[in-house]
Structure 1
Amino acid sequence: MAFATIQYFSRSLMKASAFNIIFPDDPAKARPWSTFYLLHGLSDDHTIWARRTSIERYVQDFPLVVVMPDGGRNWYTNAQEGYAYEDDLIKDVVGLVERTFPVRAEREGRAIGGLSMGGYGAVKLGLKHHEMFCSVNSHSGAVGFLQADPKEGKKLSPEFPRIFGKEPKNGPEDPFAIVERIDHGRIPAMRIDCGTEDFLLQQNRDFHKFLEDRHIAHEYQEFPGNHNWGYWDEHIQEAIAFHTRNLKIAK
């Protein structure tokens, strides 16, 4: 596999930004490749997945591109007051990748996943832009923070009110509300996992039950572990296997 950092000007953010990318360097790997957009958590940046996991080694046998964008602390959302990080990913990053690399520019060629804030982002974006992504995964996702008291969200992330407004519950960025609004037949394949000692466990259980109650197909698993890189390095391997089953992979 080859690894690169792409520096680009984001028209959505009106500033310079960057993403890391892993892509096949073996000419025997068939093209076009499918793409896995892999999102970081609140306290990290676009470098963290490559620094803290063996993601490059885990995808070496697949004709798969892994794109690791920088979401700042903005919850992969167009803030009510601030930067448009959702547009940056959906328009600028995806657009640049698909203009530059020999990848499938279609729903069956795109997967999205992440951890914690990035788990929320992957679920939210995968549901909201279900015409773009065929497969979604979340590790230890903060999928229920918009359902909780906004004061709890602000404790974790002081940016919360600026990004989501005063009443985020059941709003346009709330995964629970998005599920209720969209055609359930178009929901991407979805995998959710969380550690049994993770402080976000109850949020994941609540979202799992919410999906079950609506008969929405998804995978849900709990494993021993906490909110840390030991857990994510282990379970990203299952996410890759999940996505490769759902993506159109060139033979």
Structure 2
Amino acid sequence: MKFRLPLVCAVLCSVPALAQQPKRTDPIVRVTTIAERIEWGQFHSRVLGRTKGFCAVLPEGYRRTCGDWPVLFLLHGRGRNERTLIDDRSCRESLLQAPFVVILPQGDDGWYIDSPVRTQDRYASYLAEVIQWTASRYRLSDSAAKRAIAGWSMGGYGAPRFAQTRPGRFGLVGSIIGLLDFPRTGLPPGQSYPVPVERFGKGPAVWARFNPIHSVEKLHGSRIVLIAADEAFDRTMNENFRRELSRCGLQADWILLSGGHTFPVVRQALPILIDRVARFFRCHEKRRGMSGPG
């Protein structure tokens, strides 16, 4: 059962802290607290030329007076939005347990790429814009050791692809039932997905530019977490991607869950992902402490 957060109630309440009006130079037009430690923001995207949204889940003890907060940018799947995980009670509880900031951008049906067909739909550039402005507002770390990016389904494609276009910017890259050998044809029956040609264009030559399997070497230096499902149509894509990583001398944390390409699998995978990200951040914090001042 989905949990519908009291956005209307929050708007009706006349508590000044719930709706914060930014400065004129700030592209964020409204930020509303929709639940404890959860904010929903709207801002004007200069890249897309329209108002877009994001959610921010803040860790226990978060304070804006402190900086350098570790962060996970978490991208939603096709047909979903920035509030999908927030509105689900189980997912929301998992997010609230994260000892780091989680930013969930609104990605529409954009696949987090700058489309070669719809040239106005620059969703990779837009994602960079979201990262820039939320980093400023929430005082997020700029260090790769404290930055992670992941997603599920379409977002599980978009997160590795975006990280590949910005090598070395994310210490951890994760994918949950992501389409990691896509766009393409020629996969086994039941192990493919129709290519949205209105987004990616037509033909293998164009598709190859956007298929993350052809740029795995650009993930060198990042921790890679792949969460797949044994009955999902994307399983072969994930296995292909894992093999290509290995061929290039890269290893991934590989978790195979029971189920298909479904939201219950995402719900099951989310706490696993959050745990892996938290452990990664803790490990690097310990290493920095052991190195001492210098």
Instruction: Give the shorter-chain TM-score range.
Output: 0.7 to 0.9
Query: Aligned-pair distance for 1:88?
Result: 0.6
- Per the alignment, residue 122 of structure 2 pairs with 84
- Per the alignment, residue 24 of structure 1 pairs with 59
The answer to which structure, 1 or 2, has the higher relative contact order (CA under 8 A, 6+ apart) is: 1
Does the alignment pair 1:166 with 2:202? yes
Is the alpha carbon distance of 1:53 and 1:172 closer, same or farther for their aligned partners in structure 2, counting shifts above 3 Å? farther
Task: Output aligned runs, 1:113-152, within 5 Å.
Answer: 113-148=150-185
Number of equivalences: 244
- Per the alignment, residue 36 of structure 1 pairs with 72
Is the alpha carbon distance of 1:113 and 1:53 closer, same or farther for their aligned partners in structure 2, counting shifts above 3 Å? farther
Is the alpha carbon distance of 1:52 and 1:171 closer, same or farther for their aligned partners in structure 2, counting shifts above 3 Å? same
- Per the alignment, residue 85 of structure 2 pairs with 49
Aligned-residue CA RMSD (Å): 2.8
SS at match of 2:268: helix
- Per the alignment, residue 98 of structure 1 pairs with 135
Structure-2-length-normalised TM-score: 0.74
Q: Which runs of 5+ in 2 are unaligned?
A: 1-35, 290-294
SS at match of 2:43: strand
Query: Aligned-pair distance for 1:168?
Result: 4.7
- Per the alignment, residue 204 of structure 1 pairs with 238
Give, as a single letter, the amino acid of the residue that structure 1 aligns with 2:48: L
Sequence identity percentage: 22
Does the alignment pair 1:244 with 2:244? no
Partner Cα distance (1:230, 1:27) in 2: 30
- Per the alignment, residue 223 of structure 2 pairs with 189
4+ runs of 1 displaced by more than 6 Å? none
Give, as a single letter, the amino acid of the residue that structure 1 aligns with 2:263: W
Match of 1:107 among 144, 148, 152: 144
Is the alpha carbon distance of 1:202 and 1:53 closer, same or farther for their aligned partners in structure 2, counting shifts above 3 Å? farther
Partner Cα distance (2:178, 2:203) in 1: 20
Query: Aligned-pair distance for 1:229?
Result: 2.0
Query: Aligned-pair distance for 1:21?
Result: 1.0
Match of 2:212 among 160, 175, 179: 175
Contact 1:117 1:142 in 2 (8 A): yes
Partner Cα distance (2:115, 2:109) in 1: 11
Is the alpha carbon distance of 1:50 and 1:61 closer, same or farther for their aligned partners in structure 2, counting shifts above 3 Å? closer
Structure-1-length-normalised TM-score: 0.86
**Structure whose alpha-carbon radius of gyration is higher:** 2
Q: Which runs of 5+ in 1 are unaligned?
A: none
- Per the alignment, residue 58 of structure 1 pairs with 94
- Per the alignment, residue 19 of structure 2 pairs with none
